């Protein structure tokens, strides 16, 4: 049970009133509020000039195997179809299917990084790309609304008709209060800098996409209003995030408190941290019953609504949860050395069905394009559970 302990107040970079943070989990000196939101390098004019059309009107042709050639030459990619004669591939598939069964039963799973490594290698990731993945967050830019975060994002389509996942064109991003996301920027159309080839062409990252597709394909979940559950295409919005705590500002991975992500399936993968005090319960994820109050801080949750807690500690530690059936919250990033910056790097995969066109009312209806990205193309084949048995799950 959560216990009541002595607290001291720390200012937060938000418009919410300040709330106490348990002294047992933070040793930070008093912070001053940071009132200015940095401007993202991403072009707001680009977002304003968008003219979204029917997202199903310009779908790319079915994936046909060989990579395409463009001005950048051959696009390297992971290809699970070429792993069929490798024993490690079948070992990885068997282990992933066991995790999938647990996911279906428990509605969430936490996979330690030491277990993720052989799974990704079995799917075709290279060790060089595993190493490179730990450095990709060094090239992030300032976040459009959170001064303690650096970010990039990109949109992908899980297309189960072509059995592939492909990069989609740039679109802005938004979450609303109606999607159980209550924060000072709820309902805002946010523009992020785009994920580049450095990440999307990394075979370890591509293997993570394949892994998520294998776990989530065919899994029945509670439906969200105004999403098209008859579609065989899913939108996956990928965020590469670095949460930063400095002597002057507290970095909170979930400033919004208890929330859902407005999707069907959420996956979070840990890339690394510097000067983050794991022993002080930094960045612990708490999973809650859906009855928990949206917007409540993790220190305010009711013990009877707390389902479980996990802490990403090691490279590739990965959490998957059914977002429509689990709310979650996180504790802040706390430093070992309070005089220095502390950072936490993550990949966040939001995956949902597309918004119903013409239904009205969903904040993402006009920013839900399925057109492929022309400047940053990427497409890799998927392994679908059930396909090997000749059935459609």
Residue-level pLDDT at 329: 98
Confidence at residue 24, expressed as pLDDT on a 0 to 100 scale:
40
Question: Residue 273 in contact with residue 340, Cβ under 8 Å?
Answer: no
pLDDT of residue 386: 67
- Is the model's pLDDT at 17 over the cut of 90? no
Report CA torsion sign: 62, 66, 69, 74: positive
Superfamily of domain 78-379 in the CATH hierarchy? q2cbj1_9rhob like domain (2.60.120.620)
Two structure tokens written together for 38 = 């940095």
Its pTM stands at 0.82
Neighbours of 83 (CB within 10 A): 18
SS3 per residue for the chain: CCCCCCEEECCCCCCCCCCEEEHHHCCCCCCCCCCCCCCCCCCHHHHHCCCCCCCCCCCCCCCCCCCCEECCEECCCCCHHHHCCCHHHHHHHHHHHHHHHHHHHHCEEEECHHHHHHHHHHHCCCHHHHHHHCCHHHHCEECCCCCCEEEEEEEEEEECCCCEEEEECCCCECCCHHHCCCCCCCCCCECCCECCHHHHCCHHHHHHHHHHHHHHCCCCCCCCCCECCCCCEEEEEEEEEEEEEECCECCCCCCCCCECCCCCEEEEEEEEEECECHHHCCCEEEEECCCCCCCCCHHHCCHHHEEEEEECCCCCCEEEEECCCCEEEECCCCECCCCCCEEEEEEEEEEECCECCCCCCCCCHHHCCCCECCCCCCEEECCCCCHHHCCCC
The 10s digit of each residue's pLDDT in 66-78 is: 343 343 455 778 9
Mean pLDDT calculated for residue range 223-243: 97
Mean pLDDT calculated for residue range 118-133: 98
Does position 332 have pLDDT exceeding 90, yes or no?
Answer: yes
Q: What is the pLDDT of residue 387?
A: 53
Task: List all residues 6 or more positions away from 88 whose beta carbon is below 8 Å from its beta carbon.
Answer: 118, 121, 122
Note the pLDDT of residue 280.
96
Over residues 348-360, mean pLDDT: 92
Q: Which residues pair with 69 in a beta bridge?
A: 74
> What percent of the chain clears pLDDT 70, i.e. is strictly above it?
79
The structural domains of the chain, with segments of one domain joined by +, span 78-379
* pLDDT (average), residues 226-250: 97
> For residues 343 and 165, what is the distance between their CA atoms, to the nearest angstrom?
30
Least confident of 45-54, 220-229, 277-286: 45-54
């Amino acid at each position: 049970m959560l216990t009541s302990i002595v607290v001291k107040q720390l200012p937060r970079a938000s418009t919410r009133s300040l709330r106490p943070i348990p002294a047992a989990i933070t040793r930070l000196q008093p912070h001053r509020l940071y009132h200015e939101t940095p401007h993202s390098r991403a072009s707001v004019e680009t977002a304003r000039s968008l003219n979204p059309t029917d997202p199903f009107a310009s779908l790319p042709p079915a994936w046909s195997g060989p990579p395409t050639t463009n001005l950048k030459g051959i696009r390297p990619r992971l290809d699970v179809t070429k792993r069929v004669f490798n024993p490690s591939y079948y070992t990885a598939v068997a282990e992933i299917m066991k995790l999938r069964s647990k996911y279906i039963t428990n509605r969430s799973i936490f996979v330690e990084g030491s277990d993720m490594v052989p799974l990704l290698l079995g799917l075709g990731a290279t060790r060089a790309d595993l190493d490179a993945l730990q450095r990709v967050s060094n090239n992030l830019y300032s976040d459009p609304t959170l001064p303690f975060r650096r970010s990039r994002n990109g949109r992908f389509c899980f297309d189960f008709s072509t059995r592939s996942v492909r990069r989609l064109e740039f679109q802005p991003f938004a979450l609303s209060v109606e999607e159980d996301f209550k924060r000072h920027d709820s309902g805002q159309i946010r523009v992020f800098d785009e994920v580049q080839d450095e990440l999307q062409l990394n075979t370890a990252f591509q293997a993570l996409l394949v892994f998520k597709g294998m776990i989530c394909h065919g899994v029945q979940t509670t439906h969200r209003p105004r999403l098209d559950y008859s579609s065989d295409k899913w939108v996956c919005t990928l965020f590469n995030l670095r949460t930063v705590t400095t002597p002057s500002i507290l970095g909170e991975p979930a400033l919004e408190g208890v929330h859902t992500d407005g999707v069907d399936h959420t996956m979070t993968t840990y890339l690394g941290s510097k000067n983050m005090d794991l022993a002080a319960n930094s960045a612990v994820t708490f999973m809650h019953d859906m009855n928990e109050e949206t917007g409540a801080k993790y220190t305010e949750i009711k013990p009877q609504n707390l389902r479980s807690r996990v802490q990403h500690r090691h490279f590739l530690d990965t959490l998957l949860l059914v977002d429509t059936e689990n709310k979650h919250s996180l504790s802040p990033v706390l430093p070992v050395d309070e005089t220095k910056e502390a950072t936490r790097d993550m990949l966040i995969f939001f995956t949902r069905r597309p918004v119903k066109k013409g239904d009205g009312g969903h904040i993402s209806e006009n920013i839900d394009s399925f057109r492929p990205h022309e400047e940053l193309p990427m497409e890799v084949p998927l392994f679908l559970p059930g396909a090997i048995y000749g059935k459609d799950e």
